[in-house]
Amino acid sequence: MPVPKESTTGRFDDVHARSLADPEGFWAEAAEDIAWIERWDRVLDRSNPPFYRWFSGGVLNSCYNALDRHVEAGRGDQAALIYDSPVTGSQRRYSFTELRDAVARFAGVLAAQGVTKGDRVLIYMPMVPEAAIAMLACARIGAIHSVVFGGFAAAELATRIDDARPKVLVSASCGIEPGRVIAYKPLIDAALSLATAKPERCIILQRPEEPAALTPGRDLDWEAAAAEAQPQPCVPVAATDPLYILYTSGTTGQPKGVMRDNGGHAVALKWSMRNVYGVAPGEVFWTASDVGWVVGHSYIVYAPLLHGCTTVLYEGKPVGTPDAGAFWRVIAQHKVSTLFTAPTAFRAIKRDDPAGALIGNYDLSSLRTLFLAGERSDPATLEWAETHLKVPVIDHWWQTESGWPMAANCIGIERLPVKHGSPTKPVPGWDVHVADGEGRKAKPGEIGAIICKLPLPPGGFPTLWQADARCREAYFDRYPGFYQTGDAGFVDEDGYVYIMARTDDIINVAGHRLSTGGMEEVLAAHPDVAECAVIGVADPLKGQVPLGLMVLKAGADREDGEIAKEVVAMVRERIGPVAAFKTAVVIKRLPKTRSGKILRGTMQKIADGQDYKMPATIDDPAILSEIDAALRRVGYGKPVE
């Protein structure tokens, strides 16, 4: 199918303007790139705002578009998925034909357990090919998958089970991290003992590193069940039918089930591969993330396969598997053209190999572009990557709720000048605004709440799973006619977007609204700082004051106190005395989620001496006691009793 003319020949601003002036026409053209069983009645259904729906009346199958159509078009022998696992020392390649057949057979396993269109299947898996196979198998038969990051605590898993009410749970016997094996089965058993909506069956992939004891009558062995299963064809589903539920943290402690539909999701992701990422079918696209997060859903599993690309599924880390050259080895070995990962991965690489010495050991001639997202990309990290990789480094911004990029340098349309610290301009379809503290439109350069005008483009979430009222309250009521992103930042006079922090990370210092992200930029520019975070802590005089936490680069051998004094002086010089930035402390590591997000809110509670709940997604709980001790040394946290 042809790509819309504007996406290849028009200049970016013209394409974006048309997407807002004529969204129905714009996305109808993009939808021609998807195989439809039945065409839509309405491109955009505006009958129930703020719950807009795309391609109402249309019928398709997402798995068919990701796999079968490529086999039928002659791509059957092309690699669809490359599994690369340094933690197990193994690799596997699936052609489009082989992946289609494996998915069809596992769809038969699900069908044999009574899973039909509209049923939910919870997937709790490590980064193995079977995770993607299970997701696509659900899509094939019209079931709704809900992927939960492997290794989540039992109580958190139980909460998601009770909300999604899955008919079947799919998991593996264990996950593998550098130096340790995490048994999943005890976590599953504990979660099911807590859950009220218990699934009828559990299908367990036995991994040789730690096989699990199966519960008779409830648990099935993946391979044994697949050997007896009948491959299933693709089931027609409505464009507005749910494809998946993905849970994201809620402010009440109850996770929010972000729902994604089939039609708009397929159209947006297929369009984004060429227009945002500049990738052609047949190229190797690697997203170094996890299928438990939206990045993994969109750009490990669905988008590359929808576009006919080869996707890399990597079970490893940026460092430690075995060293800070791990990413370069994967790029060189598999001829990756585009890498998409989180800034925190590059901070880890920069920390362990500050001079980029390991890069020279590999042939990276296939690499054309690096994309960063998931957390704010500080200019120092971007500049390091640009200098050492010698390819364009593109920061872009999006969220679980958006499903695909909201602001980016869309290199498939027109590569715009880069401004470090900005993910460039809103992507076509996204109408981004900034609201000040009173809810009015902010002036260029003025920090405020980032909001997006409704309707969101295809691929944006239509609602929360069975929770329309909660969705309104969380996202739409504060700014009527707009989606509240929860991010804070500004738009400059050229229309470039700057995402500075979460809204909660804008601190009020003696009446001045200041961005912690801006201060982090200054700290990150110090030559000895590998990564950092700035949080706002309570102050009896000013309300809040900023506090910096820094992790130093490998080999930094100067006194911690000397470095702290230097960054304090840098913030005073570049932001001014108004920031009241007087304290910075060196720590060994920052607490993060498994997806790489820094747990600033948790550190703020520790600094203020408040009680906090252990985050379910934290990568290493022991780190919080280290943070507590470090903050006490500079006068913050609970006093020692």
Q: Please give the structure tokens belonging to residue 116.
A: 């039909």
> What would the two tokens of residue 360 be?
């020279």
pLDDT band at 504 (very low <50, low <70, confident <90, very high): low
Handedness of CA 70, 72, 74, 79 (dihedral sign): positive
What tokens does 105 get? 């057979």
Q: What is the DSSP letter of 200?
A: S
Mean of per-residue pLDDT scores for the chain: 92
Question: Collapsing DSSP states into helix, strand and coil, what is residue 600?
Answer: helix
User: What fold characterizes domain 510-633?
Assistant: GMP Synthetase; Chain A, domain 3 (3.30.300)
Spatial separation of the C-alpha atoms in residues 424 and 398, rounded to whole Å: 12
180 versus 507: the higher-pLDDT residue is: 180
pLDDT of residue 509: 74
**Is residue 493 pLDDT above 90, yes or no?**
yes
Instruction: Give the burial class of 141: count Cβ atoms within 10 A of its Cβ; 0-12 exposed, 13-18 middle, 19 or more buried.
Output: buried
CA distances (Å), origin 197, targets 162, 246, 249, 619: 5, 18, 20, 28
Q: What is the pLDDT of residue 7?
A: 38
Q: Are 520 and 443 in contact (CB under 8 A)?
A: no
pLDDT digit string, tens, across residues 231-287: 999 999 999 999 999 998 654 457 789 999 999 999 999 999 999 999 999 999 999
CA–CA gap between residue 382 and residue 378 (Å, rounded): 7
User: pLDDT tens across 6-34, in order?
Assistant: 334 459 999 999 999 999 999 999 999 99
Token reading at 459:
């691929």
Separation of alpha carbons 287 and 291, rounded Å: 10
Q: In whole angstroms, what is the distance from residue 51 CA to residue 481 CA?
A: 11
**Most confident stretch, 146-160, 247-261, 548-562, 575-589:** 548-562
DSSP string, 282-336: TSEEEE-S-TTSHHHIIIIIIHHHHTT-EEEEE-S-SSSSSSTTHHHHHHHHHT-
| Amino acid letter for position 389 | L
d(CA 109, CA 204): 12
Of residues 46, 8, 1, 22, the one with CA closest to residue 429 = 22
Q: How far apart are CA 239 and CA 233, in angstroms?
A: 18
> What are the tens digits of pLDDT across the range 310-366?
999 999 999 999 999 999 999 999 999 999 998 889 988 999 999 999 999 999 999
Reference 168, options 127, 209, 107; nearest CA is: 107
Quick check: 403 and 294 in contact, CB under 8 A?
yes
Q: What single-letter amino acid sits at 25?
A: G
Kindly tell me if the per-residue pLDDT of 175 is higher than 60.
Answer: yes
Question: Given pLDDT bands bounded at 50, 70 and 90, which one contains residue 639?
Answer: low
Q: Are 354 and 555 in contact (CB under 8 A)?
A: yes
356: left (phi over 0), alpha (psi -120 to 50) or beta: left
Residue 582: partners with Cβ closer than 8 Å, 6 or more residues away: 545, 568
Length of the chain (residues): 641
Which pLDDT does position 249 carry in this prediction?
67
- The one-character DSSP state at 417 is P
Cα–Cα nearest to 319, from 624, 617, 531: 531
CATH architecture of residue range(s) 9-35+47-316+396-491: 3-Layer(aba) Sandwich (3.40)
Residues paired with 546 in a beta bridge: 536
pTM, rounded to two decimals: 0.85
**Other residues' Cβ atoms within 10 Å of the Cβ of residue 175:** 25
pLDDT digits (tens, 9 = 90+) for 381-393: 899 999 999 999 9
Distance CA 544, CA 507 (A): 7
Instruction: Give the whole-number percent of the chain exceeding pLDDT 70.
Output: 96
Helices (H), 94-221: 96-112, 129-141, 154-164, 185-194
Domain borders along the chain are 9-35+47-316+396-491, 510-633
| pLDDT-derived band at 432, boundaries 50, 70, 90 | very high
Residue 594: pLDDT above 80?
Answer: no
> What pLDDT is recorded for position 40?
98
Which stretch of 170-184, 490-504, 508-522, 560-574 has the lowest confidence by average pLDDT? 508-522
